[in-house]
Amino acid sequence: MNIITFIFIVISIILFAYIIYLHSNKRGKNYQDDKQNNNSDLRKLLTYLYEVGDKLNLLSNQLSQDIAHESELAEELSAGGQELAASSQEQSSSLQYIADQVLKTVTELNQVTSEIEDVLQRSQTGLDNLDQVDKSMAELSETMEQGEMEFAQLTERLEAFNDQMAEIEETLSEVDQVSSQTTLLSLNASIEAARAGQEGKGFGVVADEIRTLSEKTEDLSENIKEITSASRNELAKITKLINDFLKRFKQLTAKSENVEEKSGEVREIMVEAVNLFQKSSQRLNNQSENYQEISEYVKDVSKTGDDMATNIEAMSENTLTLANKIEGLKEPSADLASTADELYTRVQSENDLEEIETNQQLITKVEGEIKDLASNEKIKNMNLNYTEKALQNLVDKYSEIEIAALFNRSGKTAMDLVSNKVKTEDTEGLNKKHRSYFQKPAEGKELVISSPYFSSATQLPCVTISASLEKEGEFNGIILADLQV
């Protein structure tokens, strides 16, 4: 912006130096011829500068609109990033809860394994003591009663462990819901990032990573469910085996009175019990190792989610910083438009227009014509057929009129009539909403006569006479005529 302003200042200085040079040569031998040629060149230069100012105004308006759009887009991306970060943190919390539950389950498994090993040791002791069964009958009876109690406690612990497995499955269902929501949010974020274009490219990568994390979480949840289901099946088998053994144990107690006759059966049952406890202990150890691995994996995934949430928050902060920087461009954009207007105003105030003498009588007549047309109801209602005839009559009546036109409330040309001397309108199709002859009527001034200027089509001095059109008390457009003076 500063470079453009500097260029305008340099052009202004050159223009002023050129004007001073013209005045300093008024006493020359060929002053009249030089003055005529110089004035022609000056008019062309002024016209060019006016067009540059007009185009810079348009550029400034477009730049302001682009800045507003980019700022709004940056705010939307920031909001989406914060929402994704919150979702990622929620998912990490759920995974951490699962890890805690799995660790708790591992602890319970270790306790059950320890108790089974203790019972196994007692059963082995009972098996060794069968050789001395006659001498240790009382001790065996007491051991068997204690074994029954421990089996009952073991059964209760297995049932409690089974309940904990059910709680883990419920928690996994909640994790599935959170993962599905996270997947949906990441998909929405990818769409918003795609809409953002280059600015949202990095954000789209983060959204893809979030979706990948969510998919991994779903896979992990399914694996845990499979392991949990298999563990519950194993526990059911172990419980059934223990219950069966407990029944046999009770039968053994009932038959302990006839130990001598049933000693072979007792030994067989004890051997079976030892084998059963060894298998159960091995299975529980395997389950404990599996759950320990699951816990470590869940912790890693949770840590990844926390890191991702931190990255998303950092990206949100960067997006907000970008929005603030874009917002800071608005003031230089406004300075650009102001500089263009100031340049043209300065050129107009400093130029040499000694040959321009306004024909007040002609202006007054055309002023009355424009005012009458502005009060016509058909023209107020934008009746283009009627307006075309009216403007054609106006152009035919006054040969000094270059262009007569009708503009709608948005500043777009609705109808224009160009005289034969002009042929075409060089700015046809441009929005005139920023021009003073449109703004002042739009602000409530009924009739406006511009300052003299050089026509870009004929290089002759002109004024623009414009009047506002009101429909039901509201501004509906303007009607104008460019008049050579």
With residue 222 as reference, give the H or E element that holds it. Answer: helix 201-254
What SS3 class is residue 355? coil
Mean pLDDT computed over 360-372 = 91
- Domains in the chain and their CATH numbers? 68-331 (1.10.287), 358-485 (3.30.450.20)
Spatial CB neighbours of 225, under 8 Å, sequence gap ≥ 6 = 169, 172
pLDDT band at 342 (very low <50, low <70, confident <90, very high): low
The region of weakest confidence among 38-52, 274-288, 351-365, 372-386 is: 38-52
In this predicted structure, the answer to whether residue 163 has a pLDDT above a threshold of 90 is no
Mean pLDDT computed over 349-370 = 68
Contact 336, 59 (CB under 8 A): yes
Q: Please tell me which residue, 358 or 462, carries the higher pLDDT value.
A: 462
Q: Please tell me which residue, 260 or 236, carries the higher pLDDT value.
A: 236
Per-residue pLDDT at 272: 72
Mean pLDDT computed over 267-295 = 69
Summarize pLDDT for 97-125 with one digit per residue, the tens.
766 776 777 677 677 677 767 766 776 67
Measured CA to CA, the distance from residue 460 to residue 239 in angstroms comes to: 108
Per-residue pLDDT at 354: 41
Tell me 472's DSSP state.
T
Mean of all residue pLDDT scores within the chain: 70
Per-residue pLDDT at 426: 47
Summarize pLDDT for 123-160 with one digit per residue, the tens.
667 667 666 766 666 666 677 777 777 777 777 777 78
Tell me which range, 73-77, 355-359, 476-480, is most confidently predicted by mean pLDDT: 476-480
Summarize pLDDT for 252-276 with one digit per residue, the tens.
777 665 655 666 666 677 677 667 7
Tell me which range, 167-181, 276-290, 364-378, 437-451, is most confidently predicted by mean pLDDT: 364-378
What CA–CA distances, in Å, run from 26 to 20, 36, 189, 365?
10, 12, 72, 37
Tell me which range, 236-250, 303-317, 357-371, 437-451, is most confidently predicted by mean pLDDT: 357-371
Give this prediction's pTM: 0.33
